[in-house]
Amino acid sequence: MEDTEQGMEHRHAPLPDGVIDVETANVLAERLKMLSDPGRLRMIYALAEVDELCVGDLAASVGSSESATSHQLRQMRLGGLVRARKQGREVFYRIADTHVRQLLEVIAEHFLHGDPEH
Amino acid sequence: MEDTEQGMEHRHAPLPDGVIDVETANVLAERLKMLSDPGRLRMIYALAEVDELCVGDLAASVGSSESATSHQLRQMRLGGLVRARKQGREVFYRIADTHVRQLLEVIAEHFLHGDPEH
DNA sequence: TGAACGTCTGACTTGATATTCATATATTCT
DNA sequence: AGAATATATGAATATCAAGTCAGACGTTCA
């Protein structure tokens, strides 16, 4: 985490400090982290298909407890991935915006029908 | 983690079990997890720019110790994100394949010049 | 050959994350 | 009002990931 001067005799490249600055990397990483859990991933792809699901159904679709699911959903909500709508005693979740939806599409497309290479 | 029968009186949607099966979700999540760390993210985007960098340079570019960096690189290597080439006493890393490179491009594009909505 | 260098590795520590359990709140139904 | 339902929440625990440190290994150089 610090720059102790040792073992960096010669540089091989100009050390690109372009493309992604620290702050952007943080934001991007945080959002990707939300998608880096199998459960959350299945939830959000379920949402991508049906548009709206309540907590109970999401829990069932992932095979996890409703409490655990609620916790996960809160995270995703705070992370701006999903939005909640309360109707009666249940709460329906949906994907937050087109932005997120596009990211999902793009990732799925890439992994699901990308050329087989792994 | 289990299906205790409680609180699932009525279903609101057909519960889509399509798009992403459990196994795919696991694989996809694992790969996304690799990209969900600011350090790894900066490393790999640095690699996307210069094609090849040695451990020392990668460590410097991220501002982290060489040991920590080596650990991270091993993960990324095992995860199939990067490849190593040893030359003399240093080891050069590069992005594993076009597949990965495309994913990076697509993600960057999406976050960097996507429409401002967050 | 021995010293310096670059990288890797394993053990340990620390911090983050996920799940469970118990409980709280709000809503509908009788 | 009271019981049942749906979700949320907090504390406690368990699991996992990241970084550090010390040392190993292979490589170059004097």
pLDDT tens-digit map of B8-61: 456 676 666 656 888 889 989 999 999 999 999 999 999 999 999 999 999 999
- Is A25 close to B38, i.e. CB distance below 8 A? yes
Higher pLDDT, A12 or B99: B99
B96 contact partners, CB below 8 Å, separation of at least 6: B80, B81, B82, B83
In the DSSP assignment, the letter for residue A89 is T
For B33, what's the count of Cα atoms within 13 Å in the CB-facing half-sphere?
16
Mean of pLDDT values over B101-105: 87
pLDDT of residue B14: 67
The end-to-end CA distance of chain A, in Å, is 33
Chain A residues whose CB is inside 8 A of the B75 CB are none
Q: Is A38 on the interface with B (CB under 8 A)?
A: yes
Higher pLDDT, B16 or A63: A63
pLDDT of residue B10: 60
Q: To which H or E segment does residue A42 belong?
A: helix A38-50
Q: Is B84 on the interface with A (CB under 8 A)?
A: no
* Rounded distance between C-alpha atoms, residue B100 and residue B104, angstroms: 6
CB B12 within 8 A of CB A53: yes
* Rounded distance between C-alpha atoms, residue B22 and residue B89, angstroms: 42
Tokens representing residue A91 in the block: 């709460």
- Of residues B2, B18, B54, nearest to A49 (C-beta): B18
* Rounded distance between C-alpha atoms, residue A19 and residue A52, angstroms: 36
- Is B19 close to A45, i.e. CB distance below 8 A? yes
In CATH, the architecture of A26-112 is: Orthogonal Bundle (1.10)
* Nearest-10 crossing angle of helices B38-50, A22-34: 120
Give the chain B residue whose CA is nearest to the CA of A92.
B12
Higher pLDDT, A13 or B75: B75
In the DSSP assignment, the letter for residue A15 is -
pLDDT of residue B1: 40
A67 contact partners, CB below 8 Å, separation of at least 6: none
Instruction: For chain B, give the percent of residues with pLDDT over 90.
Output: 58
Band the pLDDT of B5: cuts 50, 70, 90. very low
* Rounded distance between C-alpha atoms, residue B52 and residue B88, angstroms: 15
Higher pLDDT, A11 or A38: A38
pLDDT of residue B79: 93
CATH code for residues B37-112: 1.10.10.10
Chain B residues whose CB is inside 8 A of the A19 CB are 45-46, 48-49, 108
Q: What is the pTM of this model?
A: 0.84
- Is B15 close to A48, i.e. CB distance below 8 A? no
Q: Look-up: residue for tokens 């050329």?
A: A115
* Rounded distance between C-alpha atoms, residue A13 and residue A10, angstroms: 9
Q: To which H or E segment does residue A27 belong?
A: helix A22-34
| Tens digits of residue pLDDT in A78-117 | 999 999 999 999 999 999 998 889 888 888 877 765 544 4
SS3 track for chain B: CCCCCCCCCCCCCCCCCCCCCHHHHHHHHHHHHHCCCHHHHHHHHHHHHHCCEEHHHHHHHHCCCHHHHHHHHHHHHHCCCEEEEEECCEEEEEECCHHHHHHHHHHHHHHHCCCCCC
